A and B are shown apart, each in its own frame.
Chain A
Amino acid sequence: MTPRMYRSFQALLLMALSLFLGLKIINGTLSWYINQRFAPLTFLGIVLLSIMAQAIYRQGKKDADHDHEHDHEHEHSHVSGGNLAFLLIPLAIGVLIPARPLDSTALSTRGFTTSSALVSSGSSTTFFETDAEQRTILDWIKIFNYESDLAPYLGQQAAVIGFVYHDKTLPEGQFYVSRFVVSCCAADGFALAMAVEWPEAASLEQDAWVLVRGPVNSLKTDERTIPIIRAESIEIVPAPDQPYLYP
C-alpha cells in the first residue's frame, strides 16, 4: 500500500465511522447504546471525525504531489493497512449484527433488582410529588426505597410501561414488568422490575412491551418491601423510542 493509499484508506475509515455514528443519531438507535445525555458528545465526535478525515485526505494528496515533484526515493513506499483494519470491527459489528436494545436476554445474565438505591435520596424527593400515573418503574422503586411511610402511596393508580419478564421465582399469575436503567452506556445497564399480578400472566410473551394499569400495593419479601401492581388492565404497546430509563 502506498502512503497515498494509506492516507485515503484512513480518511475513508474516519468518514465511515462518522457516518455510522450519524446514522445512529438519525434513526434514533444511539440511545440503545449510551445515555441520551451524552448524545452531544457523540455529535462532537462526528464533527471531529469528519474534520480529521478531510485533513488526512489532504495530507495524502500533499504527500503524493511532493513525492512527484522531487521524484525522490521514499523508503516507506509500502505501508500496511492491516493496523487500520481494526476500525472495521465496530463498523462490521454495527452493520452485520442487527441492533437491539438490552432485553430479557441481558436480564437473565445480568440479573435484575426490585429495589435499588439509585439516586442520592436528597435529590429525588421531588419525584414523589408527581402524578401517580406519570411515574415510571424507576420512580416507584425509588419511592419504595426512600419513603419511610408508604401509606400515602399504597392503592394509588399506577400506569407503567415496560417489557414482560417471566421469572421462575414468581408464583403463577404474576410476572415482572421491567425496564433497563442506563447511567452511562449499555455496559452499565441493569434491569429494574416491578411485580405484577395478572391472572393471565402466562399468556404474555417474554419481552413484549406492555402498559400496566392498576393500584400499587406492597409486598413483603425476606427483608424488603417491594411494590406490586394488581393489574386491572394490560395493553400491548409498541416499544418506546427510549427503551431505557435514566436515573
Chain B
Amino acid sequence: MLNPAAWQQPPRMPYNLPMESTSPRRPSRTLIILVAVAVLAAVLFSIVPGNLFTWLWEQLNLFATVFLGIFVEAVPYLLLGTLASGLVEIFLDREQMARLIPRGSLGSALAGAVLGLVFPVCECGVIPLTRRLFSKGLPLPAGVAFLMAAPVFNPIVIFSTASAFGWGRMLLWRLGLTLVIAVVVGLIFSVEKDAGKVLKMATPILNPNPIQKTSLPFTEKMRRALVIAADEFFEMGRYLIVGAMLAAAMQTFIPQSALLSIGSGPLLSVLVMLALAFVLSICSTVDAFVALGFVGSFSFGSILSFLVFGPMVDIKSIMMYRQVFKPRAVIYLVLLPLLMSLLSGLVFNYLLP
C-alpha cells in the first residue's frame, strides 16, 4: 500500500535539492563576485578610451546572441530529456529494468548503445535520463554506452543526418562508428565493478521509498513526473547555462576563421573539426546541417569525426557529465571518444582521401 507520508516530503528525495550542504555560502560568494565585477567595470569605464568600449559592447552583443542561440535551442531538448527521466522514475521499476537489460558486459553495453532507439534524446537530454536509469539499476556499461550512443543512435538524429547527407555512407559510418565507440567505452567502464567509484550519486539506489505504481491515479503520477523533471531541469540547466556561456565566449574571442584556416592536412583537418565540434556545442539533432557547410573544404574523414565526436563530448556536455560522474570518470569519457574519433578520422583520411 501507498504510504503517503513517505513521499510527500519533497526534501526526502535526495536528488531534488542537491546543493543543500554547500549552499549557505553560495549566495554571498556570488554577491561578492558581482560587486567585484561591477567595481572593475566602473574602473575600466573611467580609464579606457571610448572606442574600446563600443568594441566591448559589440562583443558583448555578439556573446549574448550566440549564448541565447545555444540556450534557446537546447532548452526544449533538455526539457524533453528531463521529462523522459521523470516518466522513467515513476513508471519503470528496478525489476523491469533487470529483466530488460542483459547481465553480461558486452550484452549490456550493446543493449545500452541501441537504447536510444527507444528514448530519442539528444546530448542534453541524455544526461539526466542516463542518471535516472543508473538509479533504476541500469548496469554501468549499458549506461555509459547509452550516454555515448543515444545522441546519435536515435530516430530523430538518424533522420536529420539523412536529410542533410542522404541515405548514404556518411549516415552509415556515423551510426556504425558511434555504435562501436559507445560499446568500447562501455566495455572499458565495465572493468570497474563498483559503480559507486564512477558515479557521483550519493546513493546509487536512490529511492528508499519506491513509488507504488498501481496505487496512484494516472494524473497524480504524471504530476509527480513533472515535479521530478522540473527539479532535474534546474539541476542540469545550470550546467547547460555555464557550458553555453563558455562556448559563446570562446566563439566571440577566438575567430572561427582562424580555426578553419589552420589546417587541411590529413591530421590537422581532423583536429580542427574535433576542436570545432567541441567549441560549437551544438545539438546533435541538427549538427549534420552544420557539418554540411564544411563539405568541400574538409575531407570525408574529418567531417565524420565531427559528427561522431560532437554528440559525445562538447563544452556543455562536459559540464553536465560532472554532475553525474566522478572527475576521473569524466576524463575517461572525454579522452576515449576523442582518441577513437581522431583515429577513425585519420583512417578515413588516409584510405579515402
* Interface residues of A, Cβ cutoff 8 Å to B: 3, 6-7, 10, 13-14, 17, 21, 24, 30, 32-35, 38, 41-42, 44-45, 48-49, 51-53, 55-56, 58-59, 62-63, 66-67, 70, 74-76, 79-87, 89-90, 93-94, 97-102, 105-106, 109-111, 116-120, 122, 145, 181, 183-190, 247
A3, B10: Cβ atoms closer than 8 Å? yes
Question: Whole-angstrom distance from the CB of B120 to the nearest CB of chain A?
Answer: 13
A7, B238: Cβ atoms closer than 8 Å? no
Given known pairs A6-B17, A100-B61, the reply for A79 and B11 (CB within 8 Å) is yes
Question: Whole-angstrom distance from the CB of B55 to the nearest CB of chain A?
Answer: 9
Question: Whole-angstrom distance from the CB of A237 to the nearest CB of chain B?
Answer: 22
A34: B residues at CB distance < 8 A: 69, 72-73
Q: Find the residue from B59, B165, B296 having the highest chain A CB count within 10 A.
A: B296
Given A44-B80, A45-B75, A84-B234; 17 other pairs, CB 8 A cutoff: A52-B229, A62-B8, A63-B9, A75-B11, A76-B17, A80-B19, A82-B26, A86-B237, A90-B67, A94-B64, A106-B62, A110-B255, A111-B257, A116-B297, A120-B164, A185-B282, A188-B282
- Asked if B20 is an interface residue, CB under 8 A from chain A, the answer is yes
A97, B61: Cβ atoms closer than 8 Å? yes
A101: B residues at CB distance < 8 A: 65
Given known pairs A7-B10, A83-B238, A117-B297, the reply for A185 and B73 (CB within 8 Å) is yes
- Asked if B245 is an interface residue, CB under 8 A from chain A, the answer is yes
B62, A105: Cβ atoms closer than 8 Å? yes
Q: How far is the CA of A94 from the CA of B64 in the complex (A)?
A: 7
Out of B67, B258, B286, which one reaches A93, CB within 8 Å?
Answer: B67
B293, A42: Cβ atoms closer than 8 Å? no
A6: B residues at CB distance < 8 A: 17
Question: Whole-angstrom distance from the CB of A11 to the nearest CB of chain B?
Answer: 8
Q: How far is the CA of A184 from the CA of B288 in the complex (A)?
A: 10
Q: How far is the CA of A190 from the CA of B289 in the complex (A)?
A: 13
B76, A58: Cβ atoms closer than 8 Å? no
- Asked if B280 is an interface residue, CB under 8 A from chain A, the answer is yes
Out of B20, B256, B287, B296, which one reaches A76, CB within 8 Å?
Answer: B20
Q: How far is the CA of A30 from the CA of B8 in the complex (A)?
A: 39
- B29-72 toward A: CB 8 Å interface, digit per residue (1/0)? 01000000000000000000000000000111110111111111
Given known pairs A56-B227, A66-B9, the reply for A79 and B20 (CB within 8 Å) is yes
A55: B residues at CB distance < 8 A: 223, 226-227, 230
- Asked if B353 is an interface residue, CB under 8 A from chain A, the answer is no
B217: A residues at CB distance < 8 A: none
B296, A117: Cβ atoms closer than 8 Å? yes
Out of A17, A63, A84, A118, which one reaches B292, CB within 8 Å?
Answer: A118
A63: B residues at CB distance < 8 A: 8-10
B281: A residues at CB distance < 8 A: 187
A33: B residues at CB distance < 8 A: 65, 68-69, 72-73
